Structure 1
Amino acid sequence: MSMKEKRTLMLPGPTPIPERARQAGAEKIIGHRELECEELVEEVVEGLKYVFQTEEDVLILTCSGTGGLEASIANTLSAGDKVLALCTGAFGERYATIAERYGVDVERMNFTWGEAVDVDRVKKRLEEDEAGEIKAILMTHNETSTGVVNNPEPIGELAEEHDVLLLVDAVSSLGGVELKVDEWGVDVAVTSSQKALMTPPGLCLVSVSKKALEAGKEADSPKFYWSFKRAKDRYDRDTQTPSTPAISTLYVLRKVLREIKDEGLKNVFRRHEIVTKAIRKSMRALGLGLLVDDEIASTTVTAVRVPEGIEFNTLCQKLKEKYNVYITGSKGELKGKVFRIGHLGNVSRVDILSTISALEMVLKEEGFDLELGTGLRAAQQVFYEEESR
């Protein structure tokens, strides 16, 4: 086997697929209006409710996460409605832009990239809205561009208190970061298959509260393919999707959801926390700066400052060409200034150790002053201590 076949995919998505789940995707195609497909869709929806921690509706859309974010706007708002968009990075900005395309009156509340949402600022703004003009809050749970986790729980409490909707981009978080959709008052949560759900791209999964469905009765934004009502009505009638679903991808997702249930959500989250700790300790041991403080650090992606004298593109390219390790950069104001390591879903401890090792060698080759094995030792220590508990 050549080196090129041993790819170590450390991106924030798409992520590696567990082998048994990948093989499930090779099952024969069935008719999407057959009983077998109804049973497939029903099992996937029930499995997703466990991961979303919801008893409300979970809808399957055949698209990437972006389609679901667009659907969340189209199904709950009308042109001219006012929303408060909490922007802590590139994906928060993008959610706001999607809303603007629908003619929604978007008020962006900007936060420094690398910092989390300041709940007090949100509270103050909602209190100032005495006329009740704000209809919804747009929020990114896991800001992938910076590696910041924003806590939806206090925002959900504010949304309930002021009777506004809370729409959450959970694309790079769900299944890797705790998100209690019902308990925390999230009206719409959007995720996609290729992130912590360890499935090929092509499916978007959306949880929708009764409050959001009620808002949908008044929302007059145009929608057909994105219609929550159409998807819910078809599922309620015969556990089918309104249009042809991505059947092979559903096979994979079904297998993944069974494995997540077997492992248990708490264990899944713990596993993500441990690899995050290992990466962050190893980067610090190497003398590399982390963009985000530990208290708000994502457990699915870590942003590391590119050290002075090192070119991001060279670092990325050499990791890929020499060691077949795939990492990525960031966007906007962080472009070229940080590199990001994805560690969500089916990323193993061995993947983490391989990545750190390869990173050390490329950095040293590029003139960065380090002793080989320093970062590796720090990560090994984390894993060793966890095993010794």
Structure 2
Amino acid sequence: MQDKLTLMIPGPTPVPERVLKALSQHPIGHRSPEFQGITKRTNELLKWLHQTSQDVLTIAGSGTAAMEAAIINTLSKGDKVICGENGKFGERWVKVAQSFGLEVEVIKAEWGNPLDPEQFRKALEADAEIRAVIVTHSETSTGVINDLKSISNHVQKHKNALIIADCVTSLGACNVPMDEWGIDVIASGSQKGYMMPPGLSFVAMSEKAWEANKRSNLPKFYLDLSSYQKTISKDSTPFTPSVNLYFALEASLTMMQEEGLEVIFKRHERHKKATQAGIKGMGLNLFAAEGHGSPSITAVAPQDIDAEKIRKIVKTKFDILLAGGQDHLKGKVFRIGHLGFVNDRDIITAIAAIESSLESLNLLKKPIGSGIAAASKELN
């Protein structure tokens, strides 16, 4: 049977029928009163999701666009910044910062391990000229969650520094209270916890970040957030928006509000625990350090087994798409996405498919059903 693909990757994620129906509506004029109403409502819902009193700016672009916008709208050429790097996306923000002429200090952790907040504290205390700390909250490439709250706390004690957070795979999956944690800039993307197709990204900035924006001299035009800030006060956008994606955004955020933040966070934590238990139950190893797994992604390191072979059989036999390893992890890990529109059935199905695939390869280390039993116990 064709066309039964199930996405169990960390993005794009499954899209609810309610959101797809909203997406399929006929477009309307983006300068019309009707669209202004959608812009106003979605901004309020985005503020609820970010747990902030600040406006949340919507850009037609990916999460990388949001992160680039965060950097170029708050910093100036030659500014000193600290970038946390413990995966593919931490590496990316180092490259972006360097491409704009920033002086970058890198704080690293081995892929699979979390960043150490104490290293940030020491670096900040040693240099009063640091202008920003750039951190990936949930490192999509490794399935590691970093301690954003503690790092942000250290940044708040610094005279000049902002904290810029990549929350692309954490927002909508775990608690990220922007105002309470004192986060200056949060960037995210529509194809993750928002339960939408790719195409929109979001940037929220604190008052301190907007003050920094006045000093910023890095080149920008389409990603000039001051133009978005001016138009959002009129429930509008500076450029032609992705009209139908706004329809989807309102539908998805309404669904999230109906479920409630605490319930959403508990669901993701529960699915993380069930996935981890299922993987361990069938005799495979987790890649992320114990206790530091993301609620959005579980990375699996099947020792002495080609991870790509497992992915291929799961896709061929069960039409379930798992994510592969990136860069030096290709063939060494596979990743299971469990964020957004995912339920208990999806978790059980994915674990069963992996377990069955291993058995067909004669590589299953535990009796068949051990993984399912362990995952089911966490879901009961």
Which TM-score applies when normalising by structure 1? 0.95
Whether 2:198 is the aligned partner of 1:201: answer yes
* Partner-residue secondary structure (3-state), 2:39: helix
Q: Which whole-Å deviations, capped at 9, do the CAs of 1:77-102 have from their partners, x for residues lacking one?
A: 11111100011111111111111111
Q: Which whole-Å deviations, capped at 9, do the CAs of 1:267-314 have from their partners, x for residues lacking one?
A: 000000111111111111111111123421100000111231x22222
**Which residues of 2 match residues 124-163 of structure 1 at below 5 A?**
124-129=122-127, 132-163=128-159
* Partner-residue secondary structure (3-state), 1:341: strand
Q: Is the CA contact 2:114–2:289 (under 8 Å) kept in the aligned structure 1?
A: no
The structure 2 residue matched to 1:46, chosen from 44, 47, 59, is 44
**Which residues of 2 match residues 80-119 of structure 1 at below 5 A?**
80-119=78-117
Q: Is the CA contact 1:306–1:336 (under 8 Å) kept in the aligned structure 2?
A: no
The structure 2 residue matched to 1:57, chosen from 40, 55, 58, is 55
Moved over 3 A (4+): none
Give the deviation of 1:111 after TM superposition: 0.9
Mapped partners of 1:157, 1:274: distance in 2: 27
* Aligned twin of 1:66: 64
Mapped partners of 2:312, 2:221: distance in 1: 42
Q: Which amino acid aligns with 2:253?
A: L
Q: Which amino acid aligns with 2:112?
A: G
* CA RMSD, Structure 1 to Structure 2 (Å): 1.0
Whether 2:294 is the aligned partner of 1:285: answer no
Q: Which whole-Å deviations, capped at 9, do the CAs of 1:134-178 have from their partners, x for residues lacking one?
A: 100000000111111112212222111113100000011100011
Mapped partners of 1:6, 1:278: distance in 2: 24
* Aligned twin of 1:185: 182
Q: Is the CA contact 2:190–2:199 (under 8 Å) kept in the aligned structure 1?
A: yes
Mapped partners of 1:196, 1:303: distance in 2: 18
* Aligned twin of 1:299: 295
Give the deviation of 1:366 after TM superposition: 1.5
What stretches of structure 1 of length at least 5 have no aligned partner?
A: 385-389
Give the deviation of 1:336 after TM superposition: 1.7
Q: Is the CA contact 1:8–1:355 (under 8 Å) kept in the aligned structure 2?
A: no
Whether 2:267 is the aligned partner of 1:267: answer no
**Which residues of 2 match residues 292-371 of structure 1 at below 5 A?**
292-308=288-304, 310-369=305-364, 370-371=366-367
* Aligned twin of 2:244: 248
* Aligned twin of 1:224: 221
Mapped partners of 2:107, 2:152: distance in 1: 17
Q: Is the CA contact 2:114–2:292 (under 8 Å) kept in the aligned structure 1?
A: yes
Q: Is the CA contact 2:121–2:155 (under 8 Å) kept in the aligned structure 1?
A: no
Mapped partners of 1:365, 1:112: distance in 2: 33
Q: Which amino acid aligns with 1:312?
A: A
